[in-house]
Amino acid sequence: MPEWQISQEWELELGSQLQTASGVRHEIDLVAQHPDTLAIVELKNRPEWPPGKNDVIVFFAKILDYLAFNPKLLLGEVCPVFLSSAVFDETALAACLGLGIHPVGPGMRPLPVLADTMRRIGAELEKGVNIATAKRQLWEDACADLNNLALQLTEVWMAARCGYQSDEQIGLRCVGGLETVAFSRDLRRLNAHCSDVYDAVILSKQPQ
C-alpha cells in the first residue's frame, strides 16, 4: 500500500514544485500526499491568540491560487486542514465549515474524525460495554445530530465545490448561504458530547 509523503515544514511549492496563478509562492505549513489525496495543513501555535476568520480566509485563498494554475490537483481529493493550538473563535470555526476546511484544535475533532469516534463508541456499546442510560441516550442523540450536520455540509467540501474540467480549466460551484455560525456551535457541542460519552466508555472498561 502506498505511503503518505510528507513535505518539509513551511513548504513553498505545495510539495510538488508547483507554481501559483499569481506567480507568488505561498508558505504552506505542511503538505501530505497520497496517490488519491492531497492534505494541505495550516498550523497555528498561538495559545494566547486564537485563529480568526481572516486566518482561515487567507489559507483558503492560498489553496485556490495553487488550484487555479494546477487543475490536475482536483483529479484527487484535496483536503484542507486548519490545526490550532488555541480554541477557535466562533467566526473562525464558521469560516472553516463554510469553506470546506477541517478544523482541528483543543476539544475540536474535525467532522470525519468525530464521526469515526462515534462509530467506535457504538461498536463498544454493541459489545456490551455498560454505561449509564443517560449517557447512551446522549450518544444516540448526538449520532442523529451529527448525521444531520454532515448532510447540511455535504456541498462545502473541496470535492463538491471545485472540479477538474481540463488541464487549463477548473469548475467552481456556487455554495453559500448556510448558517455556518449555528453549524459551528453544533460541531462544538457534538464534540463535547462525544468526549463525555467516550470518557464514560473508557471508565466502564477499567478494572473495578
Would you state the pLDDT for residue 208?
Answer: 67
Q: What is the pLDDT of residues 3-32, one digit of tens each?
A: 888 888 778 889 889 999 999 999 999 999
Which residue(s) pair with 81 in the sheet? 41, 102
Average pLDDT over residues 66-72: 96
**Regarding beta strands 102-104 and 162-166, do their DSSP bridges make them parallel or antiparallel, or are they unpaired?**
unpaired
CB-side exposure of 5: number of CA atoms within 13 Å? 11
Residue 202 burial by Cβ neighbours in a 10 Å radius (0-12, 13-18, 19+): exposed
Would you state the pLDDT for residue 11?
Answer: 81
Q: What is the pLDDT of residues 90-137, one digit of tens each?
A: 999 999 999 999 999 999 999 999 999 999 999 999 999 999 999 999
Least Cα distance to 125 among 193, 200, 208, 191 occurs for 200
- pLDDT at residue 1 is higher than 60: no
CB-side exposure of 101: number of CA atoms within 13 Å? 31
**Regarding beta strands 162-166 and 169-172, do their DSSP bridges make them parallel or antiparallel, or are they unpaired?**
antiparallel
Round the average pLDDT of the chain to a whole number and report it.
94
Query: Which domains does the chain carry?
Result: 5-205 (3.40.1350.10)
Average pLDDT over residues 186-197: 98
In this prediction, residue 193 has a pLDDT band, given cuts at 50, 70 and 90, of very high
Would you state the pLDDT for residue 48?
Answer: 83
In this prediction, residue 154 has a pLDDT band, given cuts at 50, 70 and 90, of very high
- pLDDT at residue 182 is higher than 70: yes
DSSP class of residue 136?
H
State the pTM of this model: 0.93
Rounded CA gap, 151 and 168, in Å?
32
Helix (H, G, I), strand (E, B) or coil at 171: strand
